Amino acid sequence: MPAADTRGLVWLVGASSGIGRALALRLAADGWRVAASARRRESLEQLVTQAPAGRLQAWPLDVTQPEQVRQVVMKIEHDMGAIDIAILNAGDYEPMALDAFDVSLFRRLMEVNYHGVVHCLDALLPVLRERGRGQVLVTASVAGYRGLPQAAPYGASKAALISLAESLQPEMARAGIALRVINPGFVDTPLTRKNAFAMPFLITPEQAAGHIVGRLEDGGFEISFPRLFIWQLKLMRCLPYRLYFFLVRKVTRT
C-alpha cells in the first residue's frame, strides 16, 4: 500500500450525502486528495471540516449544466493538479407507481443520472486522453440489471449508464483510461429511504465506501456489492421472461 503522501487526486461528484459523502471521507482519511463536487455548497463546506486538514476541497457544481462542469474540471486541474481518478456518483431517485406515471420524473432522473455523467465525461476525456492515463468510475445500480416494479424512471437511467460504460470501455482502454462501473445494492441513504418495502441485504454508506475503496486498484470493470445479493440478481438476469415476471410478482406482490 502506497504511503499516504504519495496518493493522487480524486474528483468525486455527488459527494454531499449517502455513498458519496462516506466515500469522500474514507478517501481523504486514506491519504487521497479529494476534489468534492455536489450542488449543495453548504453540505460540501461541512464535509471539508470533517475531513483531515488539507485533504478535501469543495467544488460546487450542477452536473446538468455542461459548461459549468467543464469550467470546474479546468479549475480543479489548474488549482489542484491532474485528476487521477474521477468517481461520477451524482444521482437522484424517486419511486413511481403506475397510477403516478409522470413524464417529468423520467426526464429529471435521466438528466441527472445519465446526462450528468455524459457531461462529466465530456469535460474529462480531453485531459485524460492527452495524458494517456486515468481512471473513471461511474455509479450505476443493480436496478439497471433488469426492470423492477416502481423503478421505471430510475432503472432506465441506470441501465443506460451500464450500457454507456460497456460501449465506451474498449476505446477508452486503448487510450489508457480505465472506465469502470459501480453497481451497489441497497444502501441506507436519504434516497433509498423513500422505498416503502423491506430492502434485502441493506448496508450502510460506510460499508459501501469500503467496498469501492477496496477495489480501486484491482482493475476489474465492475465493482458490485454485496456479493450474495449481486449473484442472486445476476442469476435472475438469465431467466426467461415468463419465469422472471412470475418471481417478481411473487416477491413484490404486484
Sign of the C-alpha dihedral computed for residues 235, 238, 242 and 248 taken in this order: positive
- ∠ CA 71-75-77, nearest 5°, is 120
Question: What per-residue confidence (pLDDT) applies to 44?
Answer: 97
Rounded Cα distance, 17 and 130, in Å: 32
Topology annotation, domain 4-252 = Rossmann fold (3.40.50)
Considering only CA atoms, which of 25, 26, 63, 67 is closest in space to residue 47?
A: 25
Question: What per-residue confidence (pLDDT) applies to 253?
Answer: 74
Question: What per-residue confidence (pLDDT) applies to 6?
Answer: 57
**What's the pTM value of the predicted model, to 2 decimals?**
0.94
Question: What per-residue confidence (pLDDT) applies to 174?
Answer: 98
Rounded Cα distance, 140 and 82, in Å: 25
Question: What per-residue confidence (pLDDT) applies to 199?
Answer: 86
CA 97 to chain centre: 24
pLDDT average per 10 residues of sequence, the chain (254 residues): 64 97 98 97 96 97 98 98 98 96 98 98 98 98 94 97 98 98 95 87 96 94 96 93 91 74
Residue extents of the structural domains in the chain = 4-252
By annotation, the residues acting in catalysis are: 154
Question: What per-residue confidence (pLDDT) applies to 1?
Answer: 34
Give the count of beta carbons closer than 10 Å to the beta carbon of residue 231: 11
Question: What per-residue confidence (pLDDT) applies to 2?
Answer: 37
Distances (CA, A) of 121 to 13, 99, 139: 12, 36, 13
Strand partners, 86: 11, 136
Question: What per-residue confidence (pLDDT) applies to 96?
Answer: 96
